[in-house]
Structure 1
Amino acid sequence: MRRWMLVPAVVILLALSGCAPETEPDAEPSAEPSAIEPSASSEPAPEPIVLPGCDDIYSPALVAALEGEGRTSEGDVSTPGGGGWGTFDVGIETILAAIDARVSCTWILPASESGSTTSIAVLDGVSRTALIAALAGAGFTASTTPSGDLYTLAVEEEFITYTEAHLLTSDLWFGSAYSFGDATVLTLDAAAELLP
């Protein structure tokens, strides 16, 4: 009788031991899942600078003043060797002609020798350094404004009188050349329209 009682007990123990998970004596406990490290937060890329068209380069007040003098807009007439670069200096023109992101807007007073061009260009470090050197070499007077560094020049010759004004920010160049007029007004107005 006692033998029959032991058999079911042994069967039950064997069945229970078969259900238990097998563990290896040397198995190490599984490591906790590692937390995913957040990637280093990179600052968003700066928005590309959108240059204005010639219809929007000046404030409405300046456009009204130019038109009131009888001046007309010629649009963007910058071509290599053809002027229309916001400068009469060949060295400065060469630097600007090599910059793809630019606009140059010309106004003329018909039946006169008076005309002006204002250019805006996006500068990188190399072109900015070259431009500063060219302005210094051409005898421009440097000063500082809240918007950036201003370089001005006035030339009075026998057959022509003109002024130039160039404003440099960290990444933009505003330059105007004005025969028989004040280029500084044009440059600062164009900068005020575009800069925040």
Structure 2
Amino acid sequence: MRVSGKLERSRELKSFLQNLDSPKLQAAGARGLNEHTEEQRRQSTTRIAAYTGVPIARVRGKTRIKKARAGADMAATVITADVAIPLSEYGSPVWVRDMKPGWRGGRVSSMAGAEATGWNVRRIFAGTWVAKGQVYRREDPNDPRSRPVRLYGAVLANELAKPTRPNVPAAEKFARLDLEKRVTRHVIRALGT
């Protein structure tokens, strides 16, 4: 028995093989990666705003993308650059100090600490007070003469990068589901198959 083969449509096969090693394919991979990164940015800003209580407009304004460029080492990055947000900025702090204690000299009925909203939870921060609209605590809580330190709420860069924050596992889960599909779709389009 003898087997013989005849190649038909050889131009298509040649063009397919040439496209496998072309800059056009790398550009398609970069487009898919950038598209995925844009979606990661959109979802991360929504998650961070929901978790921290910081308005989504601020989170979006401080979050940007460094796009991937076609090449051997493609990397796209979501970057958040912002200062630490004082607890007073979005926390609406309240602290009441009773300067005239109970009738005929009872105890001072000041609050145990400033009440403020941090990470969407309204609570009392023990040992703190409000002065000039800012929330402060002592550097050393056991030393009443230690320096007062301002309290801060969310740090957006930490919310985006620290593995202990809920955004990081959610972003990794989305990358496992989405990244390969997006890049593959763009590569297949570039190959023309």
TM range (shorter): under 0.3
Q: Which has the higher contact order (CA 8 A, sep 6+)?
A: 2
When normalised by structure 2's length, the TM-score is 0.28
The structure with the largest helix share of the pair is: 2
When normalised by structure 1's length, the TM-score is 0.27
The structure with the largest strand share of the pair is: 1
Q: Which of the two has higher C-alpha Rg?
A: 1
